[in-house]
């Protein structure tokens, strides 16, 4: 693995971890109550969303489905078929699974109450921090963006278009959680940071694995060539 790649990945991991921990610490000091920015953005969301059952409701109700477990499973299966269930499929699915496990552990530990139930446009049963939907979509689409960017078969314009779409989906899912009244802004932001963090760590481990496989293959070829001579 190139040293620059390792340093860049560790730098991103460090930055994402600091962002997530900063939000967590600030909220803990405030007993995980709504921060002023949470309240301000919630008021804005409730003002612009209109009435339940309208166009805004259905748009964000559909968008928010991208963050559910069944969508993650479907994506893993689809990518597994495309990748013929090679090693990257298992790293892809395993990383998403780990993000799901960790998000539920954090939710159980922190137990932040959700926003006012009277403002909900859907029913949720788990605690609020961090947003599980935001973690899931961030993890999925950061992973997909990486594999798209390193693909030698795709043209640059198509790669950047796909990655832009991925980024928009992550943002829209985050917004949907606020519009639907089931999350605070800080829940969503922390979720995006944490999901991205797990994705980058997964990619780092995947590249370590590839590096070992490549070294092992090279060693075997050298060994075979010496035996032939």
CB 193 within 8 A of CB 20: yes
High-pLDDT (> 70) share of the chain, %: 92
Q: Which of 124, 144, 138 is nearest to 190 (CA)?
A: 138
Residues 152-189 have pLDDT tens digits of: 999 999 999 999 999 999 999 999 999 999 999 999 99
Six token digits for residue 129: 């921090």
Average pLDDT of the segment spanning 22-32: 96
pLDDT at 11: 93
Helices (H), 36-155: 36-48, 55-63, 69-82, 87-110, 132-149
The per-residue DSSP string of 155-181 comes to: -HHHHHHHHHHHHHHHHHHHHHHHHTT
Residues 90-107 have pLDDT tens digits of: 999 999 999 999 999 999
Q: How many residues does the chain have?
A: 229
CB 188 within 8 A of CB 64: no
In three-state secondary structure terms, 151 is coil
What residue ranges do the domains of the chain occupy? 3-218
Residues 77-91 have pLDDT tens digits of: 999 999 998 889 999
């Amino acid at each position: 693995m190139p040293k620059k790649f390792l340093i860049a990945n560790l730098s991103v991991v460090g930055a994402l971890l600091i962002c997530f921990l900063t939000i967590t610490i600030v909220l803990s000091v405030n007993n995980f109550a709504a921060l002023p920015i949470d309240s301000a953005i919630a008021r804005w969301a409730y003002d612009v969303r209109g009435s339940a059952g309208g166009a805004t409701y259905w748009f964000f109700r559909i968008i928010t489905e991208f963050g559910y477990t069944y969508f993650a499973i479907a994506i893993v299966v689809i990518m597994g078929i495309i990748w013929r269930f090679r090693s990257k499929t298992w790293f892809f699915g395993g990383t998403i699974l780990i993000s799901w496990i960790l998000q539920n552990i954090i939710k159980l530990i922190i137990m932040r109450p959700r926003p006012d139930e009277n403002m909900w446009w859907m029913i949720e049963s788990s605690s609020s921090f961090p947003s599980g939907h935001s973690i899931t979509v961030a993890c999925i689409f950061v992973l997909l963006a990486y594999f798209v960017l390193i693909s030698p078969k795709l043209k640059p314009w198509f790669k950047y278009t796909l990655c832009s779409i991925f980024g928009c989906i992550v943002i829209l899912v985050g917004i949907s959680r606020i519009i639907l009244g089931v999350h605070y802004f800080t829940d969503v932001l922390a979720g995006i940071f944490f999901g991205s963090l797990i994705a980058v760590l997964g990619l780092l481990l995947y590249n370590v694995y590839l590096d070992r496989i490549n070294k092992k293959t090279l060693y075997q070829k050298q060994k075979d060539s010496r035996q032939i001579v």
